[in-house]
Amino acid sequence: MISYKREKLIETARQLFYQYGFHAVGIDLILKKSGVAKKTLYNHFYSKDDLILAVLRRNDEHFRNHFVRSLENRGFSAKEKLLSIFDTTEEWFTSSQFHGCIFINAIAEYSDRSVPIHTVCKEYKRTIRDCIAGLAREANASDPNELADQLSLLLEGATVTEQVGAIRKSAERAREIAIILINRACSLS
């Protein structure tokens, strides 16, 4: 028995927070856009921060599923999968309504490392890195952890650069650098 109102709230809030920011978007706007009553919101969530947490966790699930699935479909070898990360990323960039990484955006507004919103974002980033490290291990990289950290750095850099919009073709650029790093780390295999 899932609640459609709850889903509707999360999805509406996600879109608004992603585009306009977390502090900039008020509860009332979310209610108006979703067509849900205020009481219902506070029936499902303790507070606005709790709703934000739900949005981030939902985004985590969706994004990670999308991430992993696209890796499965795209590459055959682990090395190809590592590279295809940047193809998936490029598709993300060119999709409509791209406003960077919502977790990065959230951390920009919640810098206090002790608040749950911050830690959830940090954990997500760690999970993605570990996912990449698994692929690097599969690809027999000499130092899979280091390669994962490197590719993560490229990913973040491309995402933020694309968000700013002052420099173009970030995903392609990150991909090219990734080729160099992957070949370097997997030269033995």
The residues binding DNA (CB under 7 A) are 1, 3-6, 25-29, 35-40, 42-44, 47-49
**Rounded-to-integer distance, Cα 63 and Cα 86, Å:** 14
Q: What number of chain residues touch a copy of itself (CB under 8 A)?
A: 48
Q: Which does 26 bind (CB under 5 to 8 A by kind): DNA, a copy of itself, none?
A: DNA
Does 20 participate in binding a copy of itself (rule CB under 8 A)? yes
Q: What is the dihedral of CA 134, 102, 57, 69, to 10 degrees?
A: -40
Query: Per-residue string for binding with a copy of itself, 116-135, x by CB under 8 A?
Result: -----xxx-xx--x------
Count of CB atoms situated within 10 Å of the CB of 146? 14
What kind and span of H or E run contains 63? helix 48-74
Tell me the window of 4-12, 34-42, 53-61, 176-184 that interacts with a copy of itself (CB under 8 A).
176-184
Nearest one of 18, 23, 55, 50 to 115, comparing CA atoms: 50
- Select the binding partner of residue 37 from a copy of itself, DNA, none (C-beta < 5 to 8 A, by kind): DNA
If 0-12 CB within 10 Å is exposed, 13-18 middle and 19+ buried, where does residue 170 land?
A: buried
* Binding residues vs a copy of itself (CB under 8 A): 19-21, 23-24, 99-100, 103-105, 107-111, 113, 121-123, 125-126, 129, 146, 149-150, 152-161, 163-167, 169-170, 173-174, 177, 180-181, 184
